[in-house]
Amino acid sequence: MAPLDIPLFPLSAVLFPGGPLQLRIFEPRYLDMVRECARSGAGFGVCLILQGREAGEPAVPAAVGTLARITDFYTLPDGLLGIAAEGCARFRVLGTRVRDNGLMHGRVRFWPDEPQLVVPPEHGLLPIILERLVEQLGPHYKDAPRACYDDASWVGFRLAELLPLTRTERQQLLELTDPIERLRALRDSLPRFQRA
């Protein structure tokens, strides 16, 4: 697949495919980006910030990110624009440039979707843990079809979002291309979260 040019929104968070994203938009460069995405129906890239901050000077983004598609717009209580978006395909950033308005663009190559694999028996505890986490922390997944809990990619991405992992750990999980390897890494991290 040929590289594409997309706007990038470096954040201090990791977005996973199928995951929700809520943003408060106030900088002119991002208002322009949202306007353009709304007009064209295109998405924007979300990359974890490796250096710098979300506001102000352009930050240094991670090389792997996720395309976000806007699903809703709303006005926040402070009068600013709020958007809801959802994570789509992952991509690798091949190069970046900053436009005159300060908006970063990336030349990116999209990754193919992961193979649909069933959660293997040795990781059977993970969907059960995920169900409990969804009850407490992930209300947007409460109506997910039962079949999702059998899908190794879906279970891995949702656990990576909802477990109290560091941003670096989340980024590492995003960059894995084997859903079973991701489940293995998540399973190995579980002892840290068990109460004594």
Residue 182 DSSP class? H
Q: What is the pLDDT of residue 196?
A: 43
Q: Where are the domains of the chain?
A: 4-110, 121-193
Instruction: State residue 82's pLDDT score.
Output: 95
Q: Could you report the average pLDDT of every consecutive run of 10 residues in the chain (196 residues)? A: 90 96 93 93 95 72 96 92 96 94 94 94 96 88 94 98 95 97 95 70
CA atoms within 13 A on the CB side of 86: 7
DSSP string, 16-60: -TT-EEEEEE-SHHHHHHHHHHHHH---EEEEEEEES-SSSSPPE
CB atoms within 10 A of CB 6: 23
Alpha-carbon span 17 to 88, nearest angstrom: 5
For the domain covering 121-193, report its CATH number: 1.10.4060
* pLDDT value at residue 58: 67
Q: Give the whole-angstrom CA distance, residue 76 versus residue 102.
A: 24
Contact 36, 44 (CB under 8 A): no
The string of pLDDT tens digits covering residues 106-116 is 999 999 999 99
Fold (topology level) of 4-110: 2.30.130
Q: What pTM was estimated for this model as a whole? A: 0.92
pLDDT score for 107:
97
* Collapsed DSSP state (helix, strand, coil) of residue 87: strand
pLDDT at 84: 96
**Topology agreement, domain 4-110 and domain 121-193:** no
